Amino acid sequence: MLRAPTPSFPIAKQDSHEPTQAALPPPYVPRDAHPTACDWLRQVEAISAACKADPSRLLTTDAVLAAIAAERAATPPAR
């Protein structure tokens, strides 16, 4: 015996020919265009290990801001 659909269990229409969002493939995004959290974590861990090995390598705020400005200048603007 079939039960009537409830708001918590909606029944999808079977006669629809339009693809659903889940059926569409994800857009292609080059890996280099969007670094992942793992890439960021690896960079932070490498910097942390280098600073622990040689405390004189600790960065100042000015050095960090200069590095960020240099990276932004080297990166082409997104369209």
Residue 52 within any structural domain of the chain:
yes
* pLDDT score for 76: 75
Q: Which position has the higher pLDDT, 73 or 23?
A: 73
| Residue 9 pLDDT exceeds 60 | no
Return d(Cα 49, Cα 40) in angstroms, integer: 14
Look up the domain containing 61 and give its range: 37-74
Rounded Cα distance between 37 and 24, Å, is 25
Higher pLDDT, 77 or 15: 77
The answer to whether position 17 is within a domain reads no
Q: Is residue 27 part of a domain?
A: no
Q: Is 26 inside a domain boundary?
A: no
Please report the DSSP string for 5-25 in residue order. PBTTBPPPPSS--SPPGGGSP
Evaluate whether residue 67 is within a structural domain. yes
- The answer, yes or no, to whether residue 73 has pLDDT greater than 60, is yes
Q: Tell me, yes or no, whether 4 lies in a domain.
A: no
How many domains, the chain?
Answer: 1
Site of tokens 């409830």: 6
How many angstroms separate the CA atoms of 47 and 6, rounded? 54
Each residue's pLDDT tens digit, 30-71: 555 556 667 778 888 887 887 788 777 677 788 888 888 888
